Amino acid sequence: MNLTKYLRSPLAAYGRAIRETPRNIICNRTLLLSALVYALGGIPGTWDQGASSAISSLPSFQAQFDVSSGSDAAAIRDLVSLVYIGQAIGAALSFFVNDRIGRRWSYRFYILVWIIGQLVAILTPGWAGLYASRIICGAGIGALSVIGPLSLVEISPGEIRGLLTSWFVVFMGVGLFCGVFTVYGCYLHVVPSRLQYQVVWFTPCIIMGLVASATFFLHESPKWLIIKGRREEAIAALCALRALPATHSRIQGEISDIETDVAKSRAGGSNLGSILRELFTVRSNLRRLQQTLVAYALAQMSGANSVTSYFMPIMSILGVGGGVQRSMFLSGMYGFAKLGFSLLASFFFIDTLGRRKSLLIGISCQMLSHVYLGVFIKYHQEGPVSAAASEAALAAVFIHAFGYAVGLLLLSYVFGGELWPNRLRSLGSAVSQTFHWIFIYAIKFSVPSILKSMNEWGAFIFFAGWCFLGLLYVFFVVPETSHMSTEEISAVFEGPLFTAYRRTKRHIIEATAVPDLRDDQSVSQSVNKAE
């Protein structure tokens, strides 16, 4: 019976779907290269996050900008949080650019804006220029956070849409890891001159410059080409992305679906006013907006990004930092762990277990980690604690990273890209990302005050409480959207959110059910052999 249950599970259904998909679609170099290039847009934001959390510990930075300690959360609050104001601005303004000049040129433009901000940070002698650079960099990062997942969703086949979209988050992990270890390497091997901290900001400019150059070898989004009336180019682009001829039924079906969606969009009006009315007055679209905004809000209120940005002060609170060099190394390993966990989640959780189960597992890990850290800090403040308890506290920080990578980190970006219909995808992504960065700014600016007012240990219980609320929300409200087409996802949001999971559960049962007698016989044969 156990084998029968497994063969009818979502995991087995996902395996069957992958096996039934033509190899030339999944192993298509054009598709994978395009996904890789767009996913690399996740690097600037987390490179900045990792670097800003540790760069204030460099002697050269402290001397240039008169910073006393990199472990003082209040001292680095503006450096850490100000960039998110720019990210909110960039995400909001991206809507006016993405549909006007296309996905590729938008991507190049945002990279250029970010590089300009980095150069300002490199050349500025004081805080005024540094704050300006944070806003400029943030504008580029915020816009990249919209165009990256949006482009990945538009070019990906449904069978691996979740996997390819999650690459953006994987490269966010790469950026975090590289950013912290670049600071660590400069601390160890570069003399404490201005060059020491300038290397940290200049290195990613080279990487993203190469990424921008690679976009000239990509095809434009077929959906955007259809919107602009360039049907032949759209067919050619889709043929390249699917490695199929134009006469193939799949190509014709996808083009037909896009054209139908575009026709519906034009029937509803294509100006900004009509799109805004559709987003904020149509009930199903308001449900989409609620789902994405709550996902982004829970991601921040769970405390995950707060741990990343204030990692060194938190290590000091836990009493496991052990000096600047050790804290930097642990920060780098934390980034490396998040990268590994993101890879694990993208390949083995998001499409195999599904969106809901991934969220429930991830948020549970975060909540339990926060509870332990809060209790540990309380006892640590009252007296000595054992070495084993300290090691467990450090382990809890890394378990927390696993939970975030599996759940709220990946799923918020996937939801932000896949839930929207084609007509509203650009605006919906821009609006949700704008609030996403506002949420991050609010929580990161508040963390030093939260730690102080709640006697440090209470902050982690506060985050655990939000994780508990997140579990309730996911269990009762979040639908399962894995392996669903855009049209099927749209149907889910036509009804109340509190019944959405029951509707998607029926879809899962139908998808995982063995479709014909031959499959039933193969299952029975497998069970008999096992017995």
Chain position carrying tokens 């990946």:
410
Q: Are 22 and 293 in contact (CB under 8 A)?
A: no
In degrees rounded to 5, what are phi and psi of residue 169? -70, -35
Rg (CA), the chain: 24
The tokens describing 482, both together, are 């894995």
**Do 315 and 376 meet the contact criterion of CB atoms below 8 Å apart?**
no
Q: What backbone torsions phi and psi does residue 58 show, to the nearest 5 degrees?
A: -75, 135
3-state secondary structure of 44: helix
Whole-number average pLDDT of the chain: 81
CATH of the domain at 457: 1.20.1250.20
Structure-token match 């929207």, residue found: 420
Q: Which spans in 322-384 are helix H?
A: 324-348, 355-382
Please say whether the beta carbons of 321 and 327 come within 8 A: yes
Give the 3-state secondary structure of residue 191: coil
**Which among 156, 147, 166 has a CA at the least distance from the CA of 426?**
147
- CA 173, CA 335: separation in Å to the nearest integer? 6
What separation in angstroms does the CA of 73 have from each of 62, 307, 390, 442? 14, 11, 21, 15
Nearest alpha carbon to residue 397 among 309, 311, 326:
311
Q: What is the identity of the amino acid at 314?
A: I
What pLDDT was estimated at residue 39?
94
Rounded distance, CA 95 to CA 145, Å? 12
Instruction: Tokens 């600047």: give the residue.
Output: 324
Assigned token pair, 462: 């506060």
Q: Are 40 and 173 in contact (CB under 8 A)?
A: no
**Calpha distance 290→428 (Å, rounded):** 11
CB count in 10 Å sphere of residue 126? 10
Q: Cβ(138)–Cβ(89) under 8 Å?
A: yes
Q: Tens digit of pLDDT for each residue in 376-411?
A: 999 888 888 888 888 899 899 999 989 988 888 766
Query: CA separation (Å) from 253 to 15, 155, 259, 263, 504?
Result: 23, 15, 10, 15, 23
Helix axes 161-189, 29-39, angle to 10 degrees: 50
Could you list the residue range(s) of the whole structural domain that residue 327 is in? 2-530
| Per-residue tokens: 484 | 């669903």
DSSP for residue 409? I
Task: Output the CA angle 81-36-80, nearest 5 degrees.
Answer: 10
Which residues are CB-contacts of 272 (< 8 A; sequence separation ≥ 6)?
Answer: none
The CA distance from 450 to 456, in Å, is 7
Contact 362, 408 (CB under 8 A): yes
Give the relative orientation of helices 500-512 and 10-20 as an angle to the nearest 10 degrees. Answer: 60
pTM of the model: 0.76
Of 503, 461, 425, nearest to 156 by C-alpha is 425
Beta-strand ranges (E) seen in 353-492 are: none
Residue 359 tokens, joined: 């969220």
Over the chain (531 residues), what is each successive 10-residue block's mean pLDDT?
Answer: 48 60 79 94 90 85 79 72 89 87 95 96 90 93 90 85 81 88 90 90 95 94 90 93 89 88 71 80 84 86 81 81 77 83 75 79 93 91 84 90 83 69 77 84 85 89 93 85 67 68 54 43 41 41
Number of domains composing the chain: 1
Closest CA to 30 of 266, 220, 292, 275: 220
Q: Please give the structure tokens belonging to residue 75.
A: 């001292």
Of 264, 296, 490, 285, give the one whose Cα is nearest residue 410: 296
User: Which residue is listed with tokens 């575009």?
Assistant: 262
Length of the chain: 531
